[in-house]
Amino acid sequence: MNLRNNVLVYAAAASTFIAGILHIALVPMFFKSMTPDVMIFFIVSGLAQIYWIIPTIKRWIMPWYYIGIAGTIILIILWIIAIPGSGYPIGETDVAIEVFQILYIILSVIIILNTNREKNKIQV
């Protein structure tokens, strides 16, 4: 794997890590206004995103990238439904989380495409 691909992999890992940390950081920020189920959701989501740096950096098989992309898309959809879709104001932390999640998706797609291109070159 070349330097460009290494940068993509570490950038994807960093983006999901930062989104995870920000999800967990929301819990103490809104502790008094969150119900226990919402707190658990943010903690589990954040821990899953932090964990996701392992399959990303270790370059586990491709299904891990697809699972990471799908899970991140689900988090974005849930946010769209829960926050702007319900008329709640969008905060700076919300925007930061969504930017890092979208960045993770974009970088993961690029990694998948590059990996597939490399495989096709080897097979030819």
Contact 99, 14 (CB under 8 A): no
Domain locations in the chain? 3-123
* % pLDDT > 70, the chain: 98
Confidence of residue 112 (pLDDT cuts 50, 70, 90): very high
Q: What is the model's pTM? A: 0.89
Any idea of the CA torsion for 24, 29, 35, 38, to the nearest 10 degrees? Answer: -30
| Cα(34)–Cα(38) distance, integer angstroms | 6
**Does position 63 have pLDDT exceeding 80, yes or no?**
yes
Please choose, from the candidates 59, 49, 71, the residue with its C-alpha nearest in 3D space to the C-alpha of residue 9: 59
State the pLDDT at residue 117: 86
State the pLDDT at residue 4: 82
Contact 73, 101 (CB under 8 A): no
User: Which two tokens mark 21?
Assistant: 């940390």
What average pLDDT does the segment 94-112 reach? 96
Burial 49-79 (b: 16+ CB within 10 A, else e): bbebbebbeeeeeeebbeebbebbeebeeeb
State the pLDDT at residue 9: 95
State the pLDDT at residue 53: 95
Q: At what angle do helices 62-82 and 3-29 cross, to 10 degrees?
A: 40
Contact 90, 46 (CB under 8 A): no
Contact 10, 54 (CB under 8 A): no
Q: What is the pLDDT of residues 6-57, one digit of tens each?
A: 999 999 999 999 999 999 999 988 778 888 888 999 999 999 999 999 999 9
What average pLDDT does the segment 69-77 reach? 96
